[in-house]
Amino acid sequence: MSSQAAPVIEVRDLRMRYGDKDVLTSVEFSIEPGEVVCLLGPNGAGKTTTIEILEGFRERSAGEVTVLGEDPRRASEAWRARTGVVLQSWRDHPRWTPRTLLDQVGGYYAPYATPDRPRPVPTDELLEVVGLDDLADQKIATFSGGQRRRLDVAMGIVGRPELLFLDEPTAGFDPQARREFHHVVHRLADLEHTTILLTTHDLDEAEKLADRVLILAGGRIVADDTAEQLALRAALEVEVKWTRGGERFVHSTADATDFVRRLLTEPGEPVVDLEVRRASLEDAYLDLVQRHEAGQSDEAVRAFREVV
């Protein structure tokens, strides 16, 4: 990946108003080639709206948006073939089978094949990647919610996209399907150098998948960093748990090293089952969003930017 390459997505002062309601007031971010970026935010924050604008499915109220070098509002068919989309709900074709559907949709991408990116992905390969090979010839009408979702993912990547949008891709997945899906995302990012923008409400998923996390709240991006840095920046206290004399203790502290040193050198019964847990992305996210909802958003954002 060249650091000189133009961003795949560039968003400046994006605004969106529905009726008299401002949902996006000034959204700004950019995404570099090959990055996996997760857009987080509470219900109604405007994540789907943002993604739909980037996909070219929704007209924005104002602002500048460039995706793969074009304005999605005026993007060409060739541009669309370079992007893949997994929507929150796909109107599928219940009487079709995954094989017939993917063959059909894949055919649309064939004219856009390049030497670097043969298109479409062969149906058998795709069915295997999303774990539907055993159900390839079964009617889609008989599928469970999770199996349909896998098919949605297959539809999103059949054209071997350079940029993939995933809107809550694992909603309704069981833990095993979720893990398999994470492998699919890593594979797309590592082997195909696909740039990925996803939304999720699963903070653990964001932490596992994303190179970078964007938090959307109050109409703008209030945090933009790696999951690890966001957790550090939240400057939340570290939780120390231990057992002494058969009794379990919990203590929160800003300086775990000093606390643990003192704990272990205190006279008395020996300390056992010592655990030190630093703030996770989930802790940081909830802290930021709660402060935001309590009307302390500027303070919360400043705290994120200033600490560490």
Helix then strand count (H, E) for the chain reads 11, 12
User: CA dist 20 to 17, 26, 61, 293, Å?
Assistant: 7, 16, 12, 21
CB 124 within 8 A of CB 150: no
CB 205 within 8 A of CB 185: no
Q: Does 234 bind ligand ATP (CB under 6 A)?
A: no
Ramachandran class of 5: left when φ > 0, alpha when ψ lies in -120 to 50, beta otherwise: beta
- Give the count of residues interacting with ligand ATP (CB under 6 A): 10
Which distant-in-sequence residues (6+ apart) come within 8 Å of 140 by Cβ?
92, 93, 94, 95, 96, 97, 98, 101, 148, 151
Query: What is the smallest separation between the CB atom of 48 and ligand ATP, expressed in angstroms?
Result: 3
Q: Does 44 bind ligand ATP (CB under 6 A)?
A: yes
Cβ neighbours, 10 Å, residue 43 = 6
Shorter beta-carbon distance to ligand ATP: residue 102 or 209: 209
Which distant-in-sequence residues (6+ apart) come within 8 Å of 297 by Cβ?
217, 218, 222, 291
CB 46 within 8 A of CB 25: no
Contact segment (CB under 6 A) with ligand ATP among 30-38, 44-52, 140-148, 224-232 equals 44-52
Of the candidates 230, 212, 220, the residue with the CA atom closest to the CA atom of residue 305: 230
Q: Does 219 bind ligand ATP (CB under 6 A)?
A: no
Q: Does 20 bind ligand ATP (CB under 6 A)?
A: no
Helix-strand-coil split of the chain, %, nearest 5: 40, 25, 35
Q: Does 43 bind ligand ATP (CB under 6 A)?
A: yes
Query: What is the smallest separation between the CB atom of 222 and ligand ATP, expressed in angstroms?
Result: 13
Q: Does 48 bind ligand ATP (CB under 6 A)?
A: yes
Q: Of the candidates 9, 11, 45, 260, which one interacts with ligand ATP according to CB under 6 A?
A: 45
Shorter beta-carbon distance to ligand ATP: residue 2 or 43: 43
Q: Does 25 bind ligand ATP (CB under 6 A)?
A: no
C-alpha span between 257 and 62 (Å, rounded): 49
CB 69 within 8 A of CB 119: no
Q: Does 46 bind ligand ATP (CB under 6 A)?
A: yes
Q: Does 297 bind ligand ATP (CB under 6 A)?
A: no
Q: Does 41 bind ligand ATP (CB under 6 A)?
A: yes
Binding mask 152-171 for ligand ATP (x = CB under 6 A): --------------------
Query: What is the smallest separation between the CB atom of 270 and ligand ATP, expressed in angstroms?
Result: 48
Binding mask 82-111 for ligand ATP (x = CB under 6 A): ------------------------------
Shorter beta-carbon distance to ligand ATP: residue 43 or 265: 43
Contacts with ligand ATP, residue ranges (CB under 6 A): 18, 23, 41, 43-49
